[in-house]
Amino acid sequence: MNINSRITMAIRNFFKKYGRIIIVVAIIWLIIFIINQYLKRIPKEISMINTYAPDTAIIDDGGNVPKKYVDTINQTVEKYFNYCNNKNYEQAYNMLTSQCKEYLYGNDLSIFKEYVDSIFTQTKIYNLQNYSNVDNVYVYDLIILDDIEATGTTEGYEPYKEKITLRKENNEFKISNQGYIESKTYNKYAEDENLKVTVKSKDVSYTREGYNVTLTNKTDKYIVIVDNTLSKEITLNLGDQKRGAVNFSNASLVLRPGETRKEVFIFDKFYDDQKDPTTICLEDVRILDEYKETNLDTAGTANRMYSYDISLTQK
Amino acid sequence: MDKKVINILLVIVVLILLAINIKIFINNHEEKADEDQNGGIENIMVQKDEQEDTQNVITDKVADMTERSRMQTYFGTFISYIEEKDYESAYELLNENFKNNYFKTLEQFETYMQRYPKDIAVEYKSIERQGELFVLTVEIKDVFNSDTQVINQRVVIRELGVNQFTISFQVEE
């Protein structure tokens, strides 16, 4: 047998023996090759570092907006903003919560119109950032700007920011604007032989709570509650701490004999701090026969001085 | 034993030959398809491929950057067009509404841009995010002449995608 025949024989034997394996391996290889080519042709998805997360709360433990509400909330704000931008006052006003209409605008559309006109002096743009979420109340920062893309900030650059809150009212998202969140009715009262104090309600913004209080002097004497001669004369008890009323740091609260007066006690308190106020305390109620503004020692000259608690949790 | 080794080697050789043939077939097929599509203008194709490759490298590089670096890169691109007097490319980067407000024509834009130094140095004072927009506060100086007036300017950039953006800026009238 010559060399050619031997090679031919060897190749024939080789393919007879390994032909099937070669075909199987080749098919597998071909499949891998085709898949590889296909994957190579799929456009590469390029992701970038992006710090913009408008639907994630800025505050730690600020909760999340449920995914099912994200689009609805964004659409609601867009609709409200466009109404304001286009001066469709009534449509925008109707998107506010009933409490907001009452508290901020006294149920008067013309007051809301004034607000809109003061902010929307020209066509504006906005951006929205979720801030905090508590008990199905979603607090956002709404930042309103001139159309800086169209002006390049030539006409100025002064972003206006306010907190807005969205909550469901009659199965529809409604807005509270200008930082106002809600009002809560209390109708709690405390009474003794000298004084009757009723806490009717509170108005809540993201950073403060304002308690609407009626005080009645039942005596024929003067009752000094605040004259800034003592520290923290009105406090809000939050369990682990007491906070002084912020709107009496330069004011006095003295009830004349038999006088009834309505006041608002304002305290710093974050809406999402998860602290429940338990009492409002008039720390140093002083009863005096006579009162003069020049008296800087009402504590020393009072007939009686005592602290007076109004429980906010009693039934 | 020797016979087994030879057989394995033969299997490998056959598979390699098969692979090379398939690869050559696919390459030929792709080239032919490209030629059919573009009338066989090979030079343009090569140039286009090179441009695409360069663009891909830039895109990948920009995608890896922080937001701040990306904004600096975008404004840097705009400034380099101005330095190269490629006003048309710079003009194309402008936001449409901004163009309509301040530079309705390329000539108006070109005239305005004459106030910029020939060799520009940019100092970034602040970069602030406003939703999907970025507001940059920059100082524009002449690299070689410290006596010339510094231009303080705000620039607004909207990032449309990786290395895709529009620009508007504070115009001094």
Of A138 and A52, which is predicted with more confidence? A138
Q: Which residue is it, tokens 């936001």?
A: B95
- A154 contacts B155? CB cut-off 8 A: no
pLDDT value, residue B43 = 58
Asked if A143's CB is within 8 angstroms of B97's CB, the reply is: no
Which of A26, A52, A147 is closest, CB to CB, to B129? A52
Residue B86 C-alpha, separation from nearest chain A C-alpha, in angstroms: 21
Q: Which residues of B touch A143 (CB under 8 A)?
A: 130-131
Q: Residue-wise over B99-134: b if at least 16 C-beta within 10 A, else e?
A: bebbbeeeeebbeeeeeebeebebeeeebebbeebb
Per-residue tokens: A122: 């020209």
| Residue to substitute from A23, A154, A161, interface B, most B β-carbons within 10 A | A154
Q: Please tell me the distance in Å from A48's CA to the nearest CA on chain B.
A: 5
Q: Each residue of A92-145: pLDDT tens digit?
A: 999 999 999 999 999 999 999 999 999 999 999 999 999 999 989 999 999 999
Long-range contacts, A71-77 (Cβ 8 Å, 24+): A72/A173, A73/A138, A73/A140, A73/A166, A73/A173, A74/A128, A76/A166, A76/A173, A76/A175, A77/A126, A77/A128, A77/A140, A77/A142, A77/A164, A77/A166, A77/A175
Kindly state the percentage of chain A with pLDDT values over 90: 67
CB contact under 8 A, A46 and B63: yes
Mean per-residue pLDDT for A62-75? 90
The pLDDT tens digits for B120-141 are: 999 999 999 999 999 999 999 9
Can you give the pLDDT at residue A1? 62
What is the reported pLDDT for B139? 94
Which residue in B15, B98, B129 is closest to A26 by CB distance? B15
Residues of chain B contacting A48 with CB distance shorter than 8 Å: 62-63, 65, 70, 162
3-state SS assignment for residue B35: helix
Q: What is the mean pLDDT of residues A36-47?
A: 81
| Size of the A and B interface in Cβ pairs below 8 Å | 96
Q: Sort out which chain B residues have CB atoms less than 8 A from A149's CB and list them.
A: 95, 97-98, 133, 156, 158, 166, 168
Taking a C-beta distance cutoff of 8 angstroms, is the pair A200, A186 a contact?
A: yes
pLDDT at A251: 86
Map out the domains of chain A with their CATH numbers.
Answer: 67-178 (3.10.450.100), 182-311 (2.60.40)
CA pair distance A147, A153, nearest whole angstrom: 8
B10 vs B16: CA distance, rounded Å:
10
Interface of B with A (CB under 8 A): 7, 10-11, 14-15, 18-19, 22, 26, 59-60, 62-63, 65-67, 70, 95, 97-98, 100-102, 129-133, 135, 154-156, 158, 162, 166, 168-173
**What pLDDT, on the 0 to 100 scale, is given for residue B1?**
54
Indicate the residue type of A268.
D
pLDDT band at A276; cut points 50, 70, 90:
very high
Is pLDDT of A80 > 70? yes
Please say if the pLDDT value at position B117 is more than 60: yes
Structure tokens at A114: 């004034």
Task: Supply the pLDDT for residue A145.
Answer: 95
Mean pLDDT, chain A, integer: 91
* Segment A171-194, tens digit of pLDDT: 999 999 999 999 999 999 999 999
Task: Report, in angstroms and rounded to the nearest whole number, the Rg of chain A calculated over CA atoms.
Answer: 35
Could you tell me which residue, A22 or A171, shows the higher pLDDT?
A171
Residue-level pLDDT at A42 = 81
Which pLDDT tens digit goes with each residue over B22-47? 777 777 666 656 555 555 555 555 66
Q: Which of A18, A22, A152 faces B168 most closely, judged by CB atoms?
A: A152
Amino acid (one-letter) located at B156: V
d(CA B2, CA A295): 118
- The percentage of chain B sitting over the pLDDT mark of 90, rounded to a whole number, equals 55
B39-97 per-position pLDDT tens digit: 555 555 566 666 667 777 788 888 889 999 999 999 999 999 999 999 999 999 999 99
- For residue A26, which residues of chain B lie inside 8 Å, CB to CB? 15, 18
Q: Can you tell me the distance from the alpha carbon of B128 to that of B121, in angstroms, rounded to the nearest whole number?
A: 20
**Range in A35-49, A66-80, A179-193 with the lowest mean pLDDT:** A35-49
pLDDT at residue B47, rounded to an integer: 63
Tell which wins on pLDDT, B10 or A275: A275
All domains in chain B, ordered by first residue: 67-169 (3.10.450.50)
Are the Cβ atoms of A29 and B19 closer than 8 angstroms? yes
* Residue A302 clears pLDDT 90, i.e. is over it: no
A18 CB-contact burial (10 Å; exposed 0-12 / middle 13-18 / buried 19+): middle
Beta strands in A193-292 (DSSP E): 195-205, 208-217, 222-226, 234-237, 242-244, 253-255, 260-268, 279-288
pLDDT at residue A205 greater than cutoff 60: yes
- The pLDDT assigned to B10 comes to 75
Which of A17, A143, A154 has its CB closest to that of B171?
Answer: A154
Choose among A18, A30, A149: nearest Cβ to B156: A149
Indicate the SS3 state at residue A81: helix
Residue B170 has pLDDT above 70, yes or no: yes
Q: State the alpha helices, DSSP H only, in A42-97.
A: 67-85, 89-93
Q: A54 contacts in B (CB within 8 Å)? A: 131
Q: Residues A250-273: pLDDT tens digits?
A: 888 999 999 999 999 999 999 999
Taking residues A194-212, report their average pLDDT.
96
Contact B97 A126 (CB under 8 A): no
Beta strand B164-169 pairing with B151-161 = antiparallel
Q: What proportion of chain B, given as a percentage, has pLDDT over 70?
A: 84
Quick check: B166 and A149 CB within 8 A? yes
Dist CA B75 CA B83 (whole Å): 12
Own/partner contacts of B113-116, CB < 8 Å, gap of 24 or more, are B113/B82, B113/B87, B115/B151, B116/B82, B116/B140, B116/B151
Looking at residue B36, what is its pLDDT?
A: 56
Instruction: Determine the Cα–Cα distance for residues A188 and A315; give it in Å rounded to an integer.
Output: 8
Predicted complex: ipTM over 0.85:
no
Q: What is the predicted pLDDT for the residue at B59?
A: 82
